[in-house]
A and B are shown apart, each in its own frame.
Chain A
Amino acid sequence: MTEVASMPEQSIAPDEHSLLVDNVSHMIGRQTILNGVSFAVRPGASIAVQGRSGSGKSTLLSIIMGLIAPSSGSVTIAGEQISSASRTRRAQIRGARIGVVFQHAELLDELTVKENILLPSWLSKSDPEVAARRADELIERLGLPGERSATVISGGERQRTALARALINDPVLLLADEPTGALDAELREAAAELLFDIPAQTGCAVVIVTHDPAVAQRADHQFTLSDGHLTIST
């Protein structure tokens, strides 16, 4: 299951993990944002990262996604080091192996639910028939109105659509940034359940950044990011 560390000395075999963050530090000017952060997430496992605003959660997500390069350390996704890859390769890894769920779903309102879900598969030039079948499966499992416009669906449906979109390319890692922040309590509960359950069934690792303790508790492990250090919460 999930290996946890702020322990750089611990040896982690890269090919066993969906995500391996190894001794990552990041500085902006003289300010240390992340300081020797290390952890690993195995396939199907999940972790939640909590922390105050400005604690470096978003920076950590950015580094994992390959959007910014760490000052030191490395990030490996499914055996391939994203932190040292070229810009083009980083984009390819993001597109093929990572799914992202945004706080506000970020659906394209003019598209139907199914088209929103299919969009990443079109962008990565996946087999259209395979993608369509997977989209139909996700729509059925998540109880979505596939042919309806994204403008007319509820907040919960929007977030479920965003989850389906993140999973359409069968990623090895799902990143969620405050995925329930814009939902009310009832919808938050349902969304959190899907967020952890469905990826687990497909062997997708989940890293979720949240302020919500109830959502964080659903993860296999909870961490707190404070002063650049990642510590285990429980």
Chain B
Amino acid sequence: MISARSSRNLARTVTTVVATLLLAASFTAAIAVFAAYDGRHERTVERTPVEASEGQKAVLQYQHVLRAVGGGQASFVYIEPIDGRTSPPPGLAAWPDPGEVVISPSLETYRDQIDGVYGTVAGSVGASGLSTPTERIVYVRPADGIPEAQSTGRGWISATGFGGANRSLMAGDVWTDKPPTQILTLIGIFVLVPALGLVIVAVQLGEDRRRRRQTVLEALGATPRYLVGLEVRAAARPALIGVVCALGVFGISCLTDVFLPGVGYWLLAADMRAVAWQGGLACLVAGAVVVAVAAVACAPARARQMTRPRGREPRYPGYIAAVVAVAFGLSGFQAINSTATGSPDAQAWFALSTLVGIGLMPLVCGWFVRTCGQLVASIGAARSLPSLVVTGRHLDAAPRTSARIAGTGAVVVFLVSQVVATVSVGSDDLRAANAAYARWDGTYATVSLPSVPAEQHVVDQIVSGTAASTVVLHRGQRWIERDGTFEMETTLTSPTAALRTIGLEPGMWTPQALDDLPQNLAAGADSVEVVAGDPEILNDTETEQDLVVVNPGGGLSTSELQAALNTIVAPGWQVSGPGETWRAGAASESHQMRWVAWFGVIGAAMLLVAGVMRNWHAVAQVARKTSRITAVSGRFALHARCAAVRGGIVAVTAVLVGGSGAVYLSGVVDASGVDGTSVREIIGLLCLLVIVATAASALHEWRTGLRAATQWRPGKEDDS
């Protein structure tokens, strides 16, 4: 009886197992996204204080501010129980004593910046009180409780307990404010689609042997149903192994927290356990999909159609390279045009020309491979180098296999890098924000407390608590109507002597007339009024106001200045460095790009594996052709040299065609205002993957040729 076992070969089995595993991973990843979002939402809700409404009995008071710790922002939650029997926040075993703080594990590194500044560090926040394990959060219980005068106002909020829907406590998590559809889209594009492609390639491996077997069985009277059943059984075994592996991996993620390297994210076992049966089902569905694909893709009629004697090699005309160059040139022009004008037509032309360029890229690779083959063959013939002649002539006469691998590589490099480019703004924004921070480091910090007056003694405390040379300005920003148009006016107020310290004179100024630092303090203003007076924050809801603490001598870094201010100002006062909010937002966006790049690299790897495996058999055939000659001559090194030459040409083609297109277009996007410079690193990484993939293909060619040569015996000419 014919069994599935008879058609098994190692490459097909391994590839099918891996493809099943990856398909299951893409399904379970989608489920994990929802599980992670739900888990974080639940934990956030559980720990969020419920604001007491009119007439409700409050059991605690709290306020929440962001403060700088270790170069980043952290959430500081000031809490004070009113009723001693009130449960502490989730993640805290008990209420901290007055003057104690409890920090999340990710802030342990910066314990010295918290201990003694906000109180004595008395413990860590447990996992149930954190939306993610890496969250930066600090619970502070004031040493002296809340003075009666501050019990209302000054940012303190009365609450009836924990478990409210207010999400304001969440902080520092990149996906917090992003809808799950974004990450699902990434999984779809970069994991699901390549995994399906790999499944199709995997089940079709060994098509020549399959076709022969099907032809023989059909001739012996086998029905189409029987033949399909044979293919299904052949695919079922590796698919089952893949499902078992996937269930194992998923099971591990249900038992222990899993760290995702590259993005620094912890997948929590508690979240995964909540979707245990859905995840298991997803693994089984993946196996079923693989078997179904095998039934369709390896059906007898389909197999014959797909394995007909191959037609002529494609022509790969040279003018295609010029067409692609024009297409990408047009893409670049339209990218600039659409950024400048926002024209939908320009965007459509950009998309169309880019698609044309991508679509023709494999043909360019074919032309390049063939041209390289001609060049290499002529060099080899002139210098009597057989590896160059054999490989060059083959690339010239039959470039299809090498062109397909190079084309896959080029498209992967270009496509993935451009997808990453479109969402890379955050990373470059982070660089700009960091550059701005570095530019103004040590010059100033801001202290803000909207809608509450700041008394003079606070200003005096700031001056005495930081440095003698510190200058405190009141900065007010408001919109005023002038000649029917609205303009932003910034008012900077401080005593005359203090103003002169930083090069300001009372009067009305345009920002351009001011020195660098005051100009930066008034960023975005149309006019600047410099007023001599005490820098008090006033009761004025029309004006956005804060205190700017300038350190003209530069004796303190911004972080030192912030640390000093943190010890002085009251809870609820926001202390920020130059562009700190911008930095935090940009860091979040940049982190998102790391997810995109992470998925992109995974997808690229899968597509490359599919591309290499698709040509696995053809590469082996090429190698076997030379094995007779090397078997007789004993010059086995020819196989290694031929594989190296072919692999080198394929890798160079893919990197040159895909990489140059990607670098050019990301450069144009950069020049047009939507930063894409950070994509260079991704392009480099993708090119490295392409080189690894072509090296794997070359290794296969070398090993196949070597094996065929060393195992060849007279009378075995037809063993290929």
Interface residues in chain A, defined as those with a beta carbon under 8 Å from any beta carbon in chain B: 57-58, 61-62, 65, 67-68, 88, 90-92, 94-95, 98, 100, 102-104, 106, 108-111, 115, 118-124, 128, 131, 149, 151, 175, 177-178, 209
Contact = CB atoms under 8 A, between A and B. Distances in A.
A123 B389 CA distance: 11
Nearest to B632: A100
B397 A94 contact: no
Nearest to A87: B634
Nearest to B710: A67
B313 to A, nearest CB: 11
A106 B385 CA distance: 20
B635 A91 contact: yes
Interface of B: 381, 384-386, 389-390, 393-394, 396-398, 625-626, 628-636, 638, 712-718
Closest A-B pairs by Cβ, 8 of them: A91-B634, A58-B715, A110-B393, A122-B386, A110-B397, A61-B714, A123-B635, A95-B633
A67 B630 CA distance: 12
Contacts of B386: 119, 122-123
Nearest to A89: B634
5 contacts: A91-B634, A95-B632, A95-B635, A120-B632, A128-B384
A67 B713 contact: yes
Given A58-B714, A67-B712, A119-B386, A111 B635 contact: no
A110 B713 CA distance: 24
Contact of B393 (A65, A91, A106, A111): A111
Nearest to B718: A104
Contact of B389 (A61, A68, A91, A115): A115
B372 to A, nearest CB: 14
A172 to B, nearest CB: 15
Nearest to A64: B714
A57 B715 contact: yes
A15 B718 CA distance: 36
Contact of B713 (A58, A95, A103, A119): A58
Given A106-B629, A122-B386, A65 B635 contact: no
Q: Which of B385, B629, B712 has the most chain A CB within a 10 Å cutoff?
A: B629
A108 B626 contact: yes
Given A58-B715, A122-B384, A177-B714, A102 B628 contact: yes
Nearest to A93: B634
A91 B386 CA distance: 17
B389 A122 contact: yes
B389 A120 contact: no
B41 to A, nearest CB: 63
A123 B396 CA distance: 21
Contacts of B393: 108, 110-111, 115
A120 B390 contact: no
A126 to B, nearest CB: 8
A122 B628 CA distance: 15
A33 B343 CA distance: 83
Contact of B629 (A88, A92, A123, A131): A123
A104 B718 CA distance: 9
B629 A108 contact: yes
A177 B715 contact: yes
Contact of A110 (B398, B628, B632): B398
B714 A62 contact: yes
A184 to B, nearest CB: 19
A177 B628 CA distance: 13
A178 B718 CA distance: 13
Contacts of B628: 102, 106
A94 B631 CA distance: 9
A46 B146 CA distance: 114
Contact of B634 (A57, A94, A131): A94
A90 B634 contact: yes
B336 to A, nearest CB: 45
Contact of A122 (B385, B398, B634, B717): B385
A209 B390 CA distance: 29
B634 A95 contact: yes
Nearest to B625: A108
Nearest to A57: B715
Nearest to A62: B713
Nearest to B635: A123
A109 B397 contact: yes
Contacts of A175: 714
A45 to B, nearest CB: 21
Q: Which of A90, A106, A118 has the most chain B CB within a 10 Å cutoff?
A: A106
Given A95-B635, A108-B393, A68 B715 contact: no
Q: Which of A88, A103, A151 has the most chain B CB within a 10 Å cutoff?
A: A103
A178 B626 CA distance: 20
B633 A123 contact: yes
Contacts of B625: 108-109
B390 A108 contact: yes
A186 B10 CA distance: 45
Q: Which of B390, B394, B716, B718 has the most chain A CB within a 10 Å cutoff?
A: B390
B582 to A, nearest CB: 61
A92 B632 CA distance: 10
A98 B716 CA distance: 19
Q: Which of A95, A110, A131 has the most chain B CB within a 10 Å cutoff?
A: A110
Given A95-B634, A177-B714, 9 more contacts: A58-B715, A91-B635, A104-B717, A104-B718, A106-B717, A110-B398, A119-B386, A123-B630, A178-B715
B635 A103 contact: no
A92 B634 CA distance: 6
Contacts of B715: 57-58, 61, 177-178
B497 to A, nearest CB: 88
Contacts of B385: 122
Nearest to A112: B393
A65 B633 CA distance: 10
Contacts of B630: 123
A102 B717 contact: yes
Nearest to A101: B632
A108 to B, nearest CB: 6
A124 B717 contact: no
B633 A124 contact: yes
A122 to B, nearest CB: 4
A81 B403 CA distance: 47
B629 A120 contact: yes
Contacts of A131: 384
A118 B715 CA distance: 24
Contacts of A151: 397
A178 B715 CA distance: 8
Contacts of B629: 106, 108, 119-120, 123
Q: Which of B390, B636, B713, B714 has the most chain A CB within a 10 Å cutoff?
A: B714
B713 to A, nearest CB: 5
Nearest to A115: B389
